[in-house]
Amino acid sequence: MLSRHMRVGPLLLVLLCGVRAAQQEPARPPNVVLILADDLGFGDLGCQGQARIRTPNLDRMAAEGLRFTQFYAGGAVCVPSRAVLLTGKHTGHAALRINVTQPLPEEETTLAEHLRAAGYRTACSGKWALGNSVASGSPRAQGFDTYFGVIDQIQAHRHYPEFLLRDDERVALDGNPTARTHYSHDLFTEEALRFLEAARATPGRPFFLYLPYSLPHADLDAPADALAPYRALGWSETPYVESGGERLYCDQPTPRAAYAAMVARLDRDVGRILDRLRELELERDTLVLFSSDNGPSSEGGGDPEFFDSNGPFRGEKGALYEGGLRVPLLARWPGRIAPGTSAQLAAAWDLFPTLAELAGTPAPADLDGISLVPTLLGRPAEQRAHAYLYWEHSAPGPFHSQTVRAGDLKALRLAVHARRPRVELYDLAADPGETRDLSAERPEDVARLVALMEEAHVRDPRSPLTYRELNSAPGRRGRER
């Protein structure tokens, strides 16, 4: 007859093996909330030196998470930047490279499609800007189970629109625009909060919530309750009055106060998202990322100089200098990401492979990004580094340019539409403000970085860039800006 210990032993062995197997199973992929501001500068947050605008919630997010000091947008303007973010391909071979209203090709694999294939439920609330209409460029054709907001980026200029879209159907906003009843940003946030509550009520699948907010992009327009505290400060103001026939932006008597109010409203609602995650007991399972699509803008009466919106950097939206490209990146995941700062050189096209790795699914092979998971999870020794980062910018007129950063050196090739482009070279470690051009002193470095530009740029007939391409390309069509 077996002893008592001999009878129980095999059972204990089975139980112990089960516990060990459970411990070795990969953790559940995190939920992801990706918040993208619109035209918010590197220096517009208190945690990055902003002195005039209060951003307590984003400052709290930075204090509780990881703040990147060398993170770059996908482009210097809206459409290319968002295309880069969602496809993981830099502007040298991204599908959309010019800032005109056009749909992202359906054959492109987006981050949302990739995560949905990995079992995520996906939602978008805000400004899409990668399509013309529900018939041409709907988020639902690009991997989102549901969306709420605006597709056409021109329509997103109005923060009191006549309607928004929910899953390709119009939602009329009674009282807008004349009575100014419904502020679109507030509605984007309310939709996001409802999505979080629904996700909590139906657990089992991770979620990806993409919040491409339209603040603080012009129109510089904010609700009265947000405006009042900043108008009360008595800043000197130059009223903005739109000139020209297209009426891209509305008039604004106090554009400085309006801009500050919009940043403050954005900050308030990031706080609401963070608070709701805590209330729903989701925050320890959720990675929240916050960034901007490009640097600050002077459009519609904006005044980046007054707010020091680009911080220590030169340039703003539309320029390939640091001020047009260097943007905030905050990453918060309680219990997984340790508070601190990171000088890891990174760009928007890194987020696709990063989130793919966290989801436990291989990223597509044709991406330009690298996973930032080692940096996020405190394993910097395992972090891969970029050989270089590349951007290009093309727009009607003499605005075609390229830039590459390799280590601390950055070269800009300006007016590449001309026969003889001008090249500038900067050492960002010694001169982050790009004030001293070293091109004449270091021709070998110029040649090396220009060669990287040639390597990174893939010719695209839809967005010709160089003199040779422009002089052999057919005419382009599209709505500018």
Residue 414 sits in a domain of what CATH number? 3.30.1120.10
Looking at the predicted structure, is the pLDDT value of residue 1 above 60?
Answer: no
The pLDDT value recorded for residue 481 is 43
Same domain membership, residue 409 and residue 308: no
- Residue 170 pairs in a beta bridge with 165
Q: Which two tokens stand for residue 468?
A: 């040779």
C-alpha torsion sign, points 430, 432, 435, 437: positive
Range of the domain at 40: 31-382
Same domain membership, residue 342 and residue 235: yes
Q: Which two tokens stand for residue 360?
A: 């436990």
Query: Could you tell me if 330 and 48 are in contact, meaning their C-beta atoms sit under 8 angstroms apart?
Result: no
Query: Could you tell me if 406 and 390 are in contact, meaning their C-beta atoms sit under 8 angstroms apart?
Result: no
Asked whether residue 133 is domain-assigned, the answer is yes
Same domain membership, residue 232 and residue 130: yes
- Number of domain units in the chain: 2
| Whole-Å CA distances, 454 to 96, 211, 281, 459 | 19, 34, 49, 10
| Whole-Å CA distances, 43 to 215, 316, 329, 417, 435 | 15, 11, 12, 32, 18
Same domain membership, residue 426 and residue 340: no
For residue 145, count other CB atoms closer than 10 A to its CB.
17
Same domain membership, residue 398 and residue 351: no
Q: Which of 334, 360, 382 is the last residue of a domain?
A: 382
pLDDT average, residue stretch 256-281: 98
Task: Give the closest residue to 169 by CA, choosing from 192, 198, 147, 143.
Answer: 147
For residue 165, count other CB atoms closer than 10 A to its CB.
20
pLDDT average, residue stretch 425-449: 98
Percent of the chain at pLDDT above 90?
Answer: 84
Confidence of residue 204 (pLDDT cuts 50, 70, 90): confident
3-state DSSP percent of the chain in helix, strand and coil, to 5? 35, 20, 50
Query: Could you tell me if 119 and 205 are in contact, meaning their C-beta atoms sit under 8 angstroms apart?
Result: yes
Asked whether residue 17 is domain-assigned, the answer is no
What is the β-pairing status of strands 146-150 and 207-212? unpaired
The pLDDT value recorded for residue 242 is 87
Asked whether residue 164 is domain-assigned, the answer is yes
CA–CA distance, 145 with 166 (Å, rounded to integer):
11
Query: Could you tell me if 352 and 87 are in contact, meaning their C-beta atoms sit under 8 angstroms apart?
Result: yes
Q: What DSSP state is assigned to residue 132?
A: S
| Residue with more model confidence, 9 or 60 | 60
Render the burial of 75-87: b for 16+ CB within 10 Å, e for the rest. Answer: bbbbbbbbbbbbb
C-alpha torsion sign, points 376, 41, 207, 201: positive
Looking at the predicted structure, is the pLDDT value of residue 9 above 70?
Answer: no
Helix/strand/coil for 324: helix
Same domain membership, residue 154 and residue 169: yes
Looking up residue 375, the CATH number of its domain turns out to be: 3.40.720.10
Query: Could you tell me if 216 and 37 are in contact, meaning their C-beta atoms sit under 8 angstroms apart?
Result: yes
Place of tokens 């597509």: 364
Same domain membership, residue 304 and residue 245: yes
pLDDT digits (tens, 9 = 90+) for 296-346: 999 999 999 999 999 999 999 999 999 999 999 999 999 999 999 999 999
Same domain membership, residue 227 and residue 117: yes
Asked whether residue 476 is domain-assigned, the answer is no
| Whole-Å CA distances, 170 to 128, 181, 194, 356 | 15, 17, 19, 33
How far, rounded to the nearest angstrom, does the alpha carbon of residue 238 sit from its chain's CA centroid?
30
Note the pTM of the prediction, 2 decimals: 0.92
Same domain membership, residue 267 and residue 230: yes
Same domain membership, residue 322 and residue 466: no
The pLDDT value recorded for residue 475 is 52
Looking at the predicted structure, is the pLDDT value of residue 479 above 80?
Answer: no
Q: Which two tokens stand for residue 315?
A: 């340039």
CA–CA distance, 80 with 91 (Å, rounded to integer):
7
CA–CA distance, 80 with 42 (Å, rounded to integer):
19
Same domain membership, residue 240 and residue 180: yes
Which amino acid does the sequence have at 386?
Answer: H
pLDDT digits (tens, 9 = 90+) for 39-93: 999 999 999 999 999 999 999 999 999 999 999 999 999 999 999 999 999 999 9
For residue 326, count other CB atoms closer than 10 A to its CB.
28
pLDDT digits (tens, 9 = 90+) for 271-283: 999 999 999 999 9
Q: Which of 347, 382, 417 is the last residue of a domain?
A: 382
Looking at the predicted structure, is the pLDDT value of residue 147 above 80?
Answer: yes
The pLDDT value recorded for residue 28 is 85
Q: Which of 336, 358, 382 is the last residue of a domain?
A: 382
Q: What DSSP state is assigned to residue 363?
A: P
Q: Which two tokens stand for residue 331?
A: 């990453």
For residue 401, count other CB atoms closer than 10 A to its CB.
24
Helix/strand/coil for 258: helix
Asked whether residue 19 is domain-assigned, the answer is no
pLDDT average, residue stretch 106-116: 96
Asked whether residue 287 is domain-assigned, the answer is yes
Asked whether residue 21 is domain-assigned, the answer is no
CA–CA distance, 85 with 69 (Å, rounded to integer):
18
CA–CA distance, 388 with 396 (Å, rounded to integer):
27
Tell me which H or E stretch contains 2. Answer: none
Query: Could you tell me if 394 and 467 are in contact, meaning their C-beta atoms sit under 8 angstroms apart?
Result: no
Q: Distance between terminal CA atoms of the chain?
A: 86
Asked whether residue 20 is domain-assigned, the answer is no
Same domain membership, residue 228 and residue 114: yes
